[in-house]
């Protein structure tokens, strides 16, 4: 790795294969870095975390008093820094309604087949949620069709539907995306096509009645128990807005799927093989099914918080760099875990994500303190309902306050490093856009190394709020902590992370303590500040790498400008 440490001057293009246009990328002047460093301090980071993660905010569960207090705090901080209201109707808030649906699925789900009738047992064989926000969901005597991966990806010349009419049918789909060829769907990196959310959306676009995703542990990245626990209770969504919807979102175990397909006179192994070819066409299964179930539907209200620092360039100020961090967490819940005798039931969410909010506020302070404002506008967006499924950022992406083609980039913070400085920084979703080069140059200027995600098959890029921006075509940056801590033995970071996942992550113990140190978080926040500043100053907006899964959405958004 080449390291640039020419004082604080970062010449992005020096380490890139730059085109003539990119060669004009401006450097970050010393004066700008000096201002940012004076603002992004341990105190500036610790104070918001102390407030947001305090017991008084009761874990910031959506639509609670703690949620309202957190939003008021964030909005008033932005106001005090000179950020203008970036929400609706001249306020700092954008209202987000959240719908909760609890489906009461039948204990057995019956199918009639050419090779005999078959029933799948709830939980053992199948798990499902409602696709509609109505008191009743129903599928009436629908035929089943195997549609392979259920993917349509023009950039890979891949279409599992081949124009076949699947309206009103129940689609049986394989999980993940093709992963056996590095040239197809980025090899073993899970793209959005490989996520279950894509599968259900894809079926809805085609007017299908329902979907059964075939679960295998390798293709999901987690065992069947995770499907059971995450789909068992209330599911949260944005309110329906007339978009196409399927009635039923189901999963089946591989064994149940094998028996089901066999009852239709087919062989799952052969279908899986057939699905691996581009020439695959949907296969009717000689199976029919009916299912009807009741839903309990609830609705609560929360909000995103947004503030804008208008750009200084008369033309470019219509474009915006959006920083995002979710402000919500789980509120008050059951005391966890075995062995916890404190009875603590407040999910403070200090790391997740008071730390992300604090980094945004510190970056906001730095932007506001600059003697000259960046050319493009800068938005700080604190989104709601991330823990319920990226709901706040999804709502913003569907109702953006800037046209998607005018959003230059998104930089998302979910979590923060409180263990000290690291030699590395992990980039989730590396290899997708021109933002990589900026990130690499900034990280190397700190004498650190930018490393790609260690678990590309898990699809982390699609599991925090930057994904909502990518989906509408906005190039997005998202980092995870480094693991190689300065002054700590080899493996210490990984061990600490594993301990944290086991004992802290999404538990009442995610709290601010005196052991937290901020020198590592400062460096990570400086990367975000620098990336946003460079994007805001550049003549041209960042671009997806050619052939990226989100390039088509960007082209559409730019064409609409
Ligand atoms: Zn989070």
Task: Output 3 or 375, whichever has higher pLDDT.
Answer: 375
CA distance 401 to 537: 21
Residue 336: pLDDT band (50, 70, 90) is low
Gap from CA of 504 to ligand 1 centroid (Å): 13
Q: Is residue 4 classed exposed, middle or buried when 0-12, 13-18 and 19+ CB atoms within 10 A define those classes?
A: middle
Gap from CA of 356 to ligand 1 centroid (Å): 8
Gap from CA of 287 to ligand 1 centroid (Å): 42
Gap from CA of 506 to ligand 1 centroid (Å): 9
CA distance 171 to 430: 33
pLDDT score of 181 more than 90: no
Gap from CA of 352 to ligand 1 centroid (Å): 5
Gap from CA of 386 to ligand 1 centroid (Å): 7
CA 179 to chain centre: 21
Gap from CA of 325 to ligand 1 centroid (Å): 8
Gap from CA of 479 to ligand 1 centroid (Å): 12
Which residues, in sequence order, are CB contacts of 151 under 8 Å at separation 6+?
A: 158, 159, 160, 177, 193, 198, 202
Gap from CA of 413 to ligand 1 centroid (Å): 8
* Confidence (pLDDT) at 339: 53
* Confidence (pLDDT) at 340: 61
Gap from CA of 11 to ligand 1 centroid (Å): 33
Report yes or no: 71 and 327 within 8 Å, Cβ to Cβ. Answer: yes
Gap from CA of 208 to ligand 1 centroid (Å): 33
Q: What percent of the chain has pLDDT over 90?
A: 81
Gap from CA of 382 to ligand 1 centroid (Å): 12
Gap from CA of 427 to ligand 1 centroid (Å): 16
Task: Please state the rounded mean pLDDT for residues 354-369.
Answer: 98
Gap from CA of 385 to ligand 1 centroid (Å): 10
Average pLDDT, the chain: 92
Report the half-sphere exposure of 316 (CA within 13 A, side-chain side): 19
Residue 59: pLDDT band (50, 70, 90) is very high
Report yes or no: 550 and 473 within 8 Å, Cβ to Cβ. Answer: yes
This prediction's pTM: 0.88
Q: What percent of the chain has pLDDT over 70?
A: 94
* Confidence (pLDDT) at 31: 95
Gap from CA of 350 to ligand 1 centroid (Å): 10
Gap from CA of 560 to ligand 1 centroid (Å): 32
Report yes or no: 397 and 469 within 8 Å, Cβ to Cβ. Answer: yes
CA distance 237 to 253: 25
Closest CA to 388 of 99, 129, 102: 99
Gap from CA of 512 to ligand 1 centroid (Å): 15
Alpha helix (H) residue ranges in 417-538? 435-445, 466-471, 492-503, 519-537
pLDDT score of 15 more than 60: no
Residue 108: pLDDT band (50, 70, 90) is very high
Gap from CA of 162 to ligand 1 centroid (Å): 38
Q: Print the SS3 string covering 335-393.
A: CCCCCCCCCCCEECCHHHHHHHHHHHHHHHHHHHHCCCCCCCEEEEEEECCHHHCCHHH
Gap from CA of 16 to ligand 1 centroid (Å): 32
Task: Output 201 or 179, whichever has higher pLDDT.
Answer: 201
Which residues, in sequence order, are CB contacts of 499 under 8 Å at separation 6+?
A: none
pLDDT score of 540 more than 80: yes
Gap from CA of 147 to ligand 1 centroid (Å): 34
Task: Please state the rounded mean pLDDT for residues 518-522.
Answer: 98
Q: Render pLDDT for 91-106 as a digit per residue (tens, 0 to 9).
A: 999 999 999 999 999 9
Gap from CA of 216 to ligand 1 centroid (Å): 26
* Confidence (pLDDT) at 145: 98
Task: Please state the rounded mean pLDDT for residues 109-119.
Answer: 93
CA distance 295 to 487: 54
Gap from CA of 500 to ligand 1 centroid (Å): 14
CA distance 58 to 69: 10
pLDDT score of 516 more than 70: yes
Gap from CA of 415 to ligand 1 centroid (Å): 6
Report yes or no: 281 and 162 within 8 Å, Cβ to Cβ. Answer: yes
Peptide bond into 337 cis (omega under 30): yes
Beta bridge partners of 237: 99
pLDDT score of 293 more than 50: yes
Gap from CA of 202 to ligand 1 centroid (Å): 26
Which residues, in sequence order, are CB contacts of 440 under 8 Å at separation 6+?
A: 15, 450
Report yes or no: 466 and 410 within 8 Å, Cβ to Cβ. Answer: yes
Q: Render pLDDT for 230-276 as a digit per residue (tens, 0 to 9).
A: 787 888 999 999 999 999 999 999 999 999 999 999 999 999 999 99
* Confidence (pLDDT) at 333: 81
Gap from CA of 100 to ligand 1 centroid (Å): 20
* Confidence (pLDDT) at 506: 86
Buried b (16+ CB within 10 A) or exposed e, 481-493: bbbbbeebeeeeb
Q: Render pLDDT for 498-515 as a digit per residue (tens, 0 to 9).
A: 899 888 888 899 999 999
Gap from CA of 510 to ligand 1 centroid (Å): 11
Residue 334: pLDDT band (50, 70, 90) is confident
Gap from CA of 387 to ligand 1 centroid (Å): 7
Gap from CA of 353 to ligand 1 centroid (Å): 5
Report yes or no: 378 and 530 within 8 Å, Cβ to Cβ. Answer: no
Gap from CA of 294 to ligand 1 centroid (Å): 32
Task: Output 552 or 27, whichever has higher pLDDT.
Answer: 552
Beta bridge partners of 94: 304
CA distance 41 to 25: 28
Residue 180: pLDDT band (50, 70, 90) is confident
* Confidence (pLDDT) at 403: 98
| Residues across the chain | 561
Buried b (16+ CB within 10 A) or exposed e, 275-302: beeeebebbebbbbbebebebebeebeb
Task: Please state the rounded mean pLDDT for residues 484-489.
Answer: 97
Task: Please state the rounded mean pLDDT for residues 16-45.
Answer: 76
Gap from CA of 430 to ligand 1 centroid (Å): 19
Gap from CA of 68 to ligand 1 centroid (Å): 18
Gap from CA of 391 to ligand 1 centroid (Å): 12
Task: Output 55 or 336, whichever has higher pLDDT.
Answer: 55
Gap from CA of 186 to ligand 1 centroid (Å): 26
């Amino acid at each position: 790795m080449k390291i640039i440490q020419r004082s604080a001057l970062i010449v992005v293009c020096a380490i890139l294969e730059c085109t003539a246009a990119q060669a004009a990328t401006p450097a970050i002047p010393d004066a700008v870095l000096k201002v940012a460093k004076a603002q992004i301090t341990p105190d500036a980071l610790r104070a918001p975390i102390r407030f947001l993660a305090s017991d008084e905010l009761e874990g910031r569960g959506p639509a609670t008093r703690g949620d309202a207090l957190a939003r008021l705090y964030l909005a008033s901080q932005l106001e005090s820094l000179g950020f203008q209201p970036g929400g609706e109707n001249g306020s700092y808030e954008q209202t987000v309604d959240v719908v909760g649906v609890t489906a009461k699925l039948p204990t057995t789900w019956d199918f009639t087949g050419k090779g005999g009738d078959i029933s799948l047992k709830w939980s053992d064989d199948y798990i499902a949620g409602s696709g509609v926000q109505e008191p009743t969901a129903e599928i009436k005597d629908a035929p089943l069709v195997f549609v392979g991966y259920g993917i349509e990806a023009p950039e890979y010349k891949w279409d599992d539907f081949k124009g076949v009419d699947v309206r009103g049918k129940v689609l049986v789909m394989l999980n993940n995306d093709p992963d056996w060829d590095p040239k197809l769907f980025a090899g073993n990196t899970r793209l959005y096509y490989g996520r279950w959310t894509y599968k259900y959306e894809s079926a809805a676009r085609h007017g299908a009645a329902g979907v059964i995703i075939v679960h295998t542990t390798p293709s999901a990245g987690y065992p069947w128990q995770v499907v059971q626990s995450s789909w068992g209770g209330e599911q949260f969504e944005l309110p329906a807005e007339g978009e196409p919807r399927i009635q039923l979102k189901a999963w089946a175990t591989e064994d149940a799927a094998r028996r089901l397909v066999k009852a239709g006179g087919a062989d799952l192994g052969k279908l899986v093989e057939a699905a691996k070819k581009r020439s695959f066409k949907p296969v009717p299964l000689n199976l029919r099914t009916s299912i009807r179930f009741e839903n309990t539907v609830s609705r609560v209200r929360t909000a995103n918080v947004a503030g804008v620092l208008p750009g200084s360039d008369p033309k470019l100020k219509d474009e915006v760099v959006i920083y995002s961090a979710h402000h919500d967490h789980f509120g008050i819940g059951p005391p966890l875990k075995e062995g916890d005798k404190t009875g603590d039931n407040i999910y403070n969410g200090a790391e997740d994500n008071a730390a992300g909010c604090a980094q945004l506020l510190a970056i906001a302070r730095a932007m506001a303190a600059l003697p000259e404002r960046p050319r493009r506008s800068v938005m700080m967006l604190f989104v709601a309902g991330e823990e319920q499924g990226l709901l706040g950022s999804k709502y913003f992406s569907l109702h953006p306050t800037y046209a998607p083609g005018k959003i230059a980039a998104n930089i998302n913070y979910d979590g923060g490093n409180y263990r000290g400085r690291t030699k590395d920084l992990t980039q989730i979703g590396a290899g997708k856009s021109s933002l990589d080069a900026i990130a690499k140059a900034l990280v190397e200027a700190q004498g650190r190394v930018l490393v790609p995600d260690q678990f590309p098959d898990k699809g982390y890029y699609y599991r925090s709020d930057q994904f909502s921006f990518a989906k509408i075509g906005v190039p997005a940056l998202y980092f995870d902590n480094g693991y190689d801590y300065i002054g700590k033995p080899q493996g210490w970071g990984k061990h600490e992370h594993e301990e944290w996942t086991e004992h802290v992550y999404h538990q009442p113990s995610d709290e601010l303590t005196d052991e937290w140190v901020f020198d590592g978080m400062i460096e990570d926040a400086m990367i975000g500040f620098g990336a946003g500043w460079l994007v805001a100053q550049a003549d041209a907006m960042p671009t997806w790498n050619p052939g990226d899964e989100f390039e088509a959405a960007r082209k559409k958004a730019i064409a609409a400008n």
